[in-house]
């Protein structure tokens, strides 16, 4: 009897020690989904989420809420975005029952050239300073979105952020971390200390931070729309500053800029239509990965298995080889997007995957004919917005125009200096872009608005989110919390071939036996902290919204 009792005590204790952490769902989920009926906002900062919700509650629609939240993130998360950067968005219009795409990415200055860069002895466009600065497109993106879909006054969208900029807000943990990392990089650039080191150091977690200069800039934009930022005082100040620093961005580059409405493109994955924007972004890489993997039984392979990881990485390598060669500004290149994302092409490339051996070199296929923020919103009428915005390389170029309170992006770094490359540097041409919003429809109705920030991680994570939802039948929060696979070192937008097979970063949750199997296949396994991205999503089922926010960031999904 004593032995039986001791055994039962041991069994209970073992169960407690190794017990299931959650009452429902997958053990790796950080929390349950957020559920609401009248509206939902998911952003990477709780205060931005609350601003978006307030806009919805006060008569604004999903588009108004998305713009207002994005404005707030430029103040509260300047380590990833701001009015010096670019923007892409996919909007589901409940009235029209269709998707609209907006490309608000800016081109290189008209007068910059490959010859000039090479004359300076440079083998690539610098990461920082005045030379990688391209026209900032986000502000015009807000204007275009509001003019077409907005429901309340444009000025109202700026008021909450202007107040926070004037009175201050508490800095969150992740943003404080990125501020600390950015300090050494930008310390010696003009106006950095004055803007983000007002207390003598970059803001710490919980510190109240103000940006009076940005408040004034936002107020001017709110009253004049594009007139001052692109055609007036602010444009003149921006271009004058860049010219003084030795760059090329001119007043004419600013005044001539217009963001562009584009048609989203899609591919069906096991009954779900997954939508991305066409190049100059990298969104169609996610569609290519999904098309290739659709030919395999991923569910049978098993989540986090070596077999699944291997097939995913090999599909990614193929898609990224095409990304490196073909993805560029379509105004300057004839890109056969329809064929790239076709099932026919996927079948041809799928045959290249060796089921038990990692590829060391991947080339692009032959075609026929030639740090970031993400947010999503939804309203009571059924409108939904998938929006992503970024400066690139975290805070951007280091170029902070005098007394304006923001940093300009450095997207032009992504151009190639090879004049024969599709993504070659040219004045007036938009660079290859990493930031991509995504959307999913089911039987012609909106199903999912989502995105994952994080450079080359994004199309890989887009594909994994869909696979987690569809193949592994996770809920919306679990799909983002599941351990991620990120392959790095593959073909870049300035090259056309991967030389060494790259390496895989795996989050905690993958067994040592799986890692050993992958190594036997020829994969190199490393761990790059911070490459796994940041996810937000809203799903619509039976007129109810389900929200999810990234557990790796400070974000929040909230509805009502």
Q: Does the residue 358 lie in any domain? A: no
Kindly compute the dihedral angle of the four CA atoms of residues 258, 263, 264, 269, in this order, to the nearest 10 degrees. -170
Contact criterion met (CB below 8 Å) for 347 and 512 = no
Instruction: Examine the pLDDT at 343 and tell me if it is beyond 80.
Output: yes
**Total number of domains in the chain:** 1
Confidence of residue 430 (pLDDT cuts 50, 70, 90): very high
Tell me the residue range of the domain where 72 lies.
47-81+107-260+393-414
Q: Could you give the CA distance from residue 322 to residue 423 in angstroms, rounded to a whole number?
A: 12
| Per-residue pLDDT reduced to its tens digit, 236-284 | 999 999 999 999 999 999 999 999 999 999 999 999 999 999 999 999 9
Mean pLDDT, residues 97-105: 98
What pLDDT was estimated at residue 527? Answer: 81
Dist. CA 265–CA 361, nearest whole Å: 29
Res. 525: pLDDT tops 50: yes
* Rounded distance between C-alpha atoms, residue 104 and residue 136, angstroms: 8
Question: Active site residue: 372, 434, 441, 494, which one?
Answer: 372
Burial (CB count within 10 angstroms: exposed 0-12, middle 13-18, buried 19+), residue 306: buried
Domain-located, residue 233: yes
The answer as to whether 161 is a domain residue is: yes
Run of H or E residues at 285: helix 284-293
**What is the average pLDDT across 497-518?**
86
Tens digit of pLDDT for each residue in 453-465? 988 899 999 999 9
| Per-residue pLDDT tens digits for 367-395 | 544 368 999 999 999 999 999 999 999 99
pTM of the predicted model as reported, rounded to 2 decimal places: 0.93
Q: Per the structure block, which two tokens stand in for 499?
A: 């030389």
Question: Does 86 reside within a domain?
Answer: no
Residue that is written with structure tokens 């298995």 in the block? 305
For residue 158, is it within any domain? yes
- Rounded percentage of the chain residues whose pLDDT exceeds 90: 86
Task: Indicate whether 209 belongs to any domain.
Answer: yes
Q: Is 43 tagged catalytic?
A: no
Element (H, E) at 516: helix 512-520
Q: What is the pLDDT of residues 51-99, one digit of tens each?
A: 999 999 999 999 999 999 999 999 999 999 999 999 999 999 999 999 9
Residue with tokens 């450079």: 455
pLDDT at 328: 95
**Banded pLDDT at 498 (limits 50, 70, 90):** low
Q: Tokens 């986000």 — which residue?
A: 138
| Dist CA 221 CA 323 (whole Å) | 36
Containing 146, the helix (H) or strand (E) segment is: helix 138-149
Our separate counts of H helices and E strands in the chain read 20, 19
**211, part of any domain:** yes
Tokens of 414: 């992504």
Q: In the block, which residue shows the tokens 């048609």?
A: 263
């Amino acid at each position: 009897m004593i032995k039986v009792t001791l055994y039962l005590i041991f069994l209970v204790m073992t169960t407690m020690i190794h017990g299931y952490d959650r009452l429902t769902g997958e053990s790796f989920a950080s929390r349950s989904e957020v559920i609401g009926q009248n509206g939902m906002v998911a952003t990477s900062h709780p205060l931005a989420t609350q601003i978006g919700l307030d806009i919805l509650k006060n008569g604004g629609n999903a588009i108004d809420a998305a713009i207002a939240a994005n404005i707030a993130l430029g103040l509260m998360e300047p380590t990833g975005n701001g009015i010096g950067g670019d923007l892409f968005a996919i909007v589901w219009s409940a009235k029209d029952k269709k998707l609209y795409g907006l490309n608000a990415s800016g081109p290189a200055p008209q007068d910059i050239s490959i010859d000039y860069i090479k004359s300076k002895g440079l083998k690539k466009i610098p990461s920082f300073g005045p030379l990688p600065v391209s026209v900032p497109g986000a502000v015009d993106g807000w204007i275009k979105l509001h003019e077409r879909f907005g429901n309340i006054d444009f000025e109202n969208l700026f008021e909450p952020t202007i107040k926070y900029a004037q009175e201050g807000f508490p800095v969150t943990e992740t943003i404080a971390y990125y501020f600390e990392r950015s300090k050494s990089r930008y310390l010696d650039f003009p106006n950095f200390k004055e803007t983000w080191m007002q207390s003598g150091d970059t803001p710490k977690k919980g510190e109240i931070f103000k940006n009076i200069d940005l408040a004034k800039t936002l107020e001017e934009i709110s009253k004049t729309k594009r007139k001052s930022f692109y055609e007036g005082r602010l444009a003149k100040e921006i271009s004058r500053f860049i010219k003084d620093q030795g760059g090329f961005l001119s007043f004419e580059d600013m005044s001539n800029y217009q963001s562009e409405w584009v048609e989203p493109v899609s591919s069906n994955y096991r009954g779900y239509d997954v939508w991305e924007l066409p190049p100059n972004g990298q969104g169609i890489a996610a569609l290519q990965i999904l098309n290739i993997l659709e030919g395999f039984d991923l569910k049978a392979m098993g989540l986090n298995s070596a077999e699944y990881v291997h097939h995913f990485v090999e599909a990614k390598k193929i898609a990224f080889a095409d990304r490196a060669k073909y993805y560029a500004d379509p105004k300057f290149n004839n890109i056969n997007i329809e064929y790239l994302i076709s099932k026919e092409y996927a079948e041809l490339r799928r045959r290249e995957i060796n089921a038990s051996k990692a590829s060391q070199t991947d080339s692009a296929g032959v075609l026929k004919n030639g740090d970031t923020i993400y947010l999503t919103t939804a309203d009571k009428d059924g409108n939904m917005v998938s929006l992503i915005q970024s400066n690139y390389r975290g805070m951007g170029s280091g170029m902070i125009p005098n007394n304006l309170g923001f940093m300009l992006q450095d997207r032009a770094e992504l151009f190639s200096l090879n004049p024969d490359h599709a993504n070659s540097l040219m004045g007036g041409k938009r660079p290859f872009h990493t930031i991509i919003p995504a959307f999913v429809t089911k039987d012609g109705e909106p199903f999912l608005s989502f995105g994952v920030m994080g450079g080359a991680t994004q199309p890989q994570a887009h594909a994994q989110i869909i696979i987690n939802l569809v193949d592994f039948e996770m809920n919306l929060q679990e799909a983002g919390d599941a351990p991620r696979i990120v392959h790095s070192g593959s073909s870049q937008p300035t090259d056309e071939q991967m030389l060494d097979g790259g390496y895989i970063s795996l989050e905690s949750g993958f067994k040592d036996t799986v890692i050993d199997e992958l190594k036997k296949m020829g994969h190199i396994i490393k761990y790059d902290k911070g490459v796994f991205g940041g996810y937000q999503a809203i799903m619509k089922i039976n007129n109810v919204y389900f929200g999810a926010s990234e557990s790796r960031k400070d974000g929040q999904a909230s509805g009502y």
